[in-house]
Structure 1
Amino acid sequence: MFTFLLVVQAIIAAALVTVILMQRSEGGGLTSSGSPSGLMSARGAADFLTRATGVLAGLFIAMSVLLAFIAASRSGTTVDTSLQRRAPAAQTQPVQAQPQPGAPAAPAPSPADNGVPLAN
């Protein structure tokens, strides 16, 4: 059922694109060179294409809402986590305390304290 409605949606979209492209910005359409009377006149074609655009746009919106409703009801409430990445374990490093204002500064460590030999 869903696949059938999806195909109908694609057909409606193609028809809507076709009808829109047939119209001119002034409202004449591609069939403006037809006979001056009846449906194939410039005015009759413009009216027909305008109505067809409105009907197809309405059908497209209705089908979109219907397909969204069907897709939401089919999927259930489970979430697919097969593509979820695992975050690497956080590396904890000791945080050095910041000296408070007005407190005496701590003496700088000497190179010998760090285990680095002095070069002479």
Structure 2
Amino acid sequence: MENVVLIIHLILALGLIAVVLLQRSEGGGLGMGGGGGGAMTGRAAATALGKVTWLLAIAFICTSITLTIFAAENASGSSVIDRLGVTPPAADRGETPALPDSDLLLPPSADENAPLVPTLD
């Protein structure tokens, strides 16, 4: 059932993209005007595409919520580590890993006799 809803969701997403790209720009978005006025503006086609856009958007949201519910049911309150059945190594021994010596954390001291710029010999 989840795969069917997922396929419908993907078809709705592609349809929604197509319908939005088919719509005519009414200007104001990025400074590009839709242009034109008058009696033949294509407003009826724009409202039909607008209704299809709303219908696809509502269906897309419904399938999104349905997929979220399916994912929540499959999660069952356990983590990925619990599903693997492997315990972390630090939990097995009951120890915390040791820190390295503080001398290893410092940068190496500069040798007074060493040149600052490497030479190509």
TM-score grouping bracket, smaller chain normalisation: 0.5 to 0.7
Larger Rg: 1
1:78 correspondence with 2:78: yes
Q: For 1:91, what is the secondary structure of its paired residue?
A: coil
More helix by percentage: 2
Q: Which amino acid aligns with 1:21?
A: L
* TM-score (norm: length of structure 1): 0.57
Aligned to 1:14: 14
Structure 2, unmatched stretches of 5+, are 28-38, 91-95, 103-121
Q: What is the number of residues matched between the two proteins?
A: 83
Q: Which amino acid aligns with 1:20?
A: V
Residue 8 of structure 1 deviates from its aligned partner by 0.2
Residue identity over aligned pairs, in percent, reads 33
> More relative contact order in 1 or in 2 (CA 8 Å, sep 6+)?
2
Aligned to 2:98: 90
Structure 1, unmatched stretches of 5+, are 28-35, 95-120
Residue 84 of structure 1 deviates from its aligned partner by 9.3
The 5 A counterparts of 1:8-47 are 8-26=8-26, 42-47=42-47
Moved over 4 A (4+): 82-88
Q: How large is the RMSD of aligned CA atoms in angstroms?
A: 3.2
* TM-score (norm: length of structure 2): 0.57
1:65 correspondence with 2:65: yes
